[in-house]
Structure 1
Amino acid sequence: MWQIIGAGAIGCLWAANLLRIREKVQLITRRPCTANLLQYQDLLKQQFTFPITTSTSLSSTSDPVLVCVKATQVIPAITTHLASIDAEQAIILMHNGMGCAEQVAKLLPDNPIICATTANASLLHSPLNIEQTGKGVTYLGAYNNKGKLFQSLQVPLNSALTNTCWCEDVNEKLWLKLIINMAINPLTAIHQIKNGQLKESFFQTQINSLVNESLAVANAEGVTFKKEEILAIIQQVITLTAENLSSMNRDIFYRRHTENEFIAGYLLKSATFKQIHTPTIMRLYQQIKALEQAALAEQ
């Protein structure tokens, strides 16, 4: 059985596709959920309905736990279910940003920990009602030595959503996603625009600066990319998701906490430690933080 913490867009996307291949799934939710049917529309507009088991408590088993909550919610979620997590359980972390795995490893020093990043996308229309809006590659790999023993988990995950790959150096994939998120999410959130509007020259200039600064930090951390390739990937993402609203855009719109600390914040911490000047990242980080604080003051 798969236990999935988080009944948001990504958690439900994995739940639906694991159920589609007849895997057993339990969705772990923050609040009691009365619904027991998961509605899913795929990219071909086909409609599926799956019976789904939900619970506010993690079952005490050795089954893998797929954590699909925002980076800000990972530690609270793990802490909530700490007593139910077996030391042999594989914990798969799938979220934007970086920095959570280190914190989880401190809470669960004996557990196999796997980090994952996905380019699949979906839209949560209402509780347990999702529409897949994008298809892409999912990468997963071991964060610690025990995680290396669970490469076999890639097989059912790939059957559920194709192009799910195990990689020996998942850190590089996480950095790539971090740099893409840094280039897209804050700008779309601050200006409340769709991803496609980032093609305008005003934003392209800022994206170029963000990439320069992000690559300097990555390089200092021992992760190297070619700038031209990164810029090409970012432009491709902007084109393919032109009509989409980034998750940070929606968080600001709905006055929710964003993953700012785990995207720009993570880069800034590393930049400070490595003594790298990152003025553009700092400016956007501060703007998002100000928007979050303003929303908090209104509540």
Structure 2
Amino acid sequence: MKIKQYRTQFIKELSSFYDAYEAESFFYLILENKHKLRQIDLALNHELVFNPSDFAFWDVILQELKKEVPIQYLLGKTNFYGLDFEVNENVLIPRPETEELVEWIVKENAKTDKTKTLKILDIGTGSGCIAVSLAKNLPNAKVYAIDVSKKALETAKRNAINNKVEVTFLLNDVLELEELPYDFDIIVSNPPYVRHLEKEEIKKNVLDYEPHLALFVEDHDALIFYKKIATLAQDNLFKNGQLYFEINQYLGKEMIDLLEEMEFKNIELRKDIYDNDRMLRGSF
């Protein structure tokens, strides 16, 4: 069968689950990952065909997509901040909003004195997307990363190796830490922040397949991770050190109030590409 014909069939079979644009994007992602063919290759050669053996692979992928398994998990990887990252059921799939957080940190620190080591800690690293991206883009950075999940850290370590950066990974539950192992210039975290009351807003592909440990907090204590991390930062940030958070879009004011009460200064709240309150920075 010609690939162009199969493309039409593929999108039609997914029409009950995804809109045409998303189904088409899945098709081209798989085509590039499995066959090393881009959309432009198909556009320039309408006669390209699949081998009979290819259909077994595509059928498995198609059936999993009908169950709404995330395409990134099916491919085993995703792109984040221009780098490839392995992803699996043990880690969250990195989001574009988190790329914006990384971009903020990189831009604000790219012009620092290159002879000075910039010590950075990423708390709740998951796939390592923040830690690895910062290590890759800030050559003078010494990056550390903490996570409570051993399996997540194994994934993050592979991502550091594959992207040729050095990151020191530590297995810790931040809620049980009395102090951090070192002092830092920057502490960054994208901790669990979705309240259970917000579950109805979460898509099935996230709710059914991504790790709840990294997603949800109790409704009555939604800022539990932020309070703990900010408390640790008070003792473990160098003078004028920076604390960066990705936050729940509905709790921007509460987060500003929290950092103000804890005597952080130069507090700035930023919106993401979807115009939601998403990133917060303070210095100490």
TM-score normalised by structure 2 residue count: 0.33
Q: Which has the higher helix share?
A: 1
- Structure showing greater radius of gyration is 2
